Amino acid sequence: MLKATEMKKESIVKKMLICLFLFLMVAGSGSIMAQQRIWSLEDCINYAIENNIQIKQSELAIESVEADMLQSKLNFLPNLNGNTNFSWSWGRTLDQTTYIYFNQETNQGNMGLDANMTLFGGLKNLNQVKRDKIDFLVSQYDADKMRDDISLMLTRAYLQILFNKELLKVAQEQVQITTEQIDRTNKMVEAGTLARGSLLEMEAQGAREELNVINYENLLELAYLDLLQILDLESDADLEIEIPELTMEIINDLQPLKSIYETALLTQPVVKSAELEVESSHKGISIAKGEKSPVLSVGGGWRTNYSNQYRKFDPESGGFTDVIPFNDQFKDNQSEYLGFSLSIPIFNGYQAATMVNKAKIAAANSEYNYELTKNSLRKEIEQAYSDAKAAFKSYAATQSSLNSFEESFRYTEQKFNVGMSNSVDYNIAKSQLTSAESELIRAKYDYIFKTKILDFYMGLPLSL
């Protein structure tokens, strides 16, 4: 009995160990699944291209234009339509099979197939096909423009996070330095080397720097929120970006402005779209002129009918007997036809002339829009080029300034540590150094973003 009890306890222990093992396995796998994903700039751009609603709408616009293009090609095919009807009539009625009027209940039906095709219509269909092909390319370039715009927005937001991260890091380092200096100052005050006012001033400086840390943390959260919103992710989504190694040499190696602009004219979707819009609008003029042209069509068809008044004729009695069966009437009453028609526009209230004039106005407007697009692109590149040069100069000047402030702070810190300088001078030198470090970070990321814009105009992919 005792042995059975021990075996039962042992079995229970084994089951508990197995359950514990399974729990640990599930918990471990859950923690692996819950690991935070690190997003690179390329990951952000690829995710947006696959999931952004505006991009999806632009892709639907491409499908819609593609359907129009297919329809314009199918318009060259002949139309074929079937028709049938069956009626009951009372009173005086014309029988369609005998063309005799009857004054009694009449049942009759008709069946037929009709086909027609335009042989010549002022080349409207041909020009419409050409225009729809151009519009299809325009829709593709418009979608590319949408992707480019969102990619630029993501690049700016991504760099803003990196910028705020570095500012936060500098602020935290300054808090650490100040904390150590407060400890050192406290010891000097206790030793009688410095007045207590220096300690109080140092503690106030530490409080200000801790507030700066909080402010930079808030700015970093807002930068993440901006990135999440561009990605159409919820604000509580667990997202962390990759920190790339940004090695930056202080050299002014920008491509010539003219070369950037000429390349952009050949590669930018917004320019290609505006250029094709001009071609499309001129095809619109040709389509409108087609309304003035005669239209030559060919048509054909097949007919048959049935009537309950269509009866057999008896030569012996000279009268009509039974109604001819439906199948016999269907076969005997068949007929076919083929014909041509020519429609010549003579006067239609100047509608065709008005359409041509409006098409010409639309073409002139598209040409102006093309020139505006090129001018706008040139101005954007000139501004980006000027901004990049200014950012380079600012970075170089700030780097030189930072070296001076580092040397000044080092000298002031040494004097303060031996009691030859007060806390006010120390805090001023430290604030100037912090400001210079922040300005250097700002100038660095400003230069990076401006050069990325120029790379974008050169048709290069956005990456860090």
* pLDDT band, residue 247 (cuts 50/70/90): low
- Label residue 402 left, alpha or beta by phi (over 0 means left) and psi (-120 to 50 means alpha): alpha
* pLDDT band, residue 130 (cuts 50/70/90): very high
pTM recorded for the entire structure: 0.74
DSSP one-letter string for 126-168: HHHHHHHHHHHHHHHHHHHHHHHHHHHHHHHHHHHHHHHHHHH
Structure tokens at 223: 């930068």
Structure tokens at 152: 């630029």
pLDDT of 180 over the 60 cut: yes
Q: What is the pLDDT of residues 36-70, one digit of tens each?
A: 578 888 888 889 888 888 899 999 999 999 999 99
Q: What per-residue confidence (pLDDT) applies to 189?
A: 75
Mean pLDDT value across residues 273-294: 91
Q: Which residues contact 433 (CB under 8 A, 6 or more apart)?
A: 402, 405, 406, 408, 409
CB 172 within 8 A of CB 212: no
Q: What is the pLDDT of residues 206-230, one digit of tens each?
A: 788 788 889 989 999 999 998 988 8
Q: What per-residue confidence (pLDDT) applies to 257?
A: 83
* Closest-CA residue to 271 (of 135, 374, 151): 374
Q: Can you give the residue ranges of every domain in the chain?
A: 39-77+121-293+345-457
* pLDDT band, residue 35 (cuts 50/70/90): very low
pLDDT of 2 over the 50 cut: no
Mean pLDDT value across residues 250-269: 81
d(CA 254, CA 428): 37
CB 107 within 8 A of CB 308: yes
Structure tokens at 213: 């840390």
d(CA 202, CA 191): 17
Reduce the DSSP state of residue 83 to 3 states and report it.
strand
Mean pLDDT value across residues 122-129: 88
The tally of CA atoms less than 13 A away on the side-chain side of residue 333 is: 24
d(CA 216, CA 435): 14
Mean pLDDT value across residues 228-248: 78
Least confident of 92-106, 282-296, 428-442: 92-106
Q: What per-residue confidence (pLDDT) applies to 252?
A: 60
Mean pLDDT value across residues 419-438: 68
Instruction: Identify the bridge partners of residue 338 per DSSP, sorted by sequence position.
Output: 300
Q: What per-residue confidence (pLDDT) applies to 415?
A: 67
| Most confidently predicted of 346-355, 362-371, 420-429, 454-463 | 362-371
How many Å is the maximal CA-CA distance in the chain? 151
pLDDT of 324 over the 80 cut: no
* pLDDT band, residue 464 (cuts 50/70/90): low
Q: What per-residue confidence (pLDDT) applies to 234?
A: 83
pLDDT of 446 over the 90 cut: no
Look-up: residue for tokens 């009027």?
101
* Closest-CA residue to 341 (of 290, 295, 300): 295
CATH C-level class of 39-77+121-293+345-457: mainly alpha
Percent of the chain with pLDDT strictly greater than 90: 20
Q: What is the pLDDT of residues 76-106, one digit of tens each?
A: 889 999 988 887 777 666 666 666 766 677 7
Structure tokens at 439: 């300005």
CB 294 within 8 A of CB 345: yes
Mean pLDDT value across residues 297-302: 92
Handedness of CA 343, 344, 350, 355 (dihedral sign): positive
Q: For the beta carbon of residue 65, count every other beta carbon within 10 angstroms.
A: 20
Q: What per-residue confidence (pLDDT) applies to 375?
A: 93
Mean pLDDT value across residues 223-252: 77
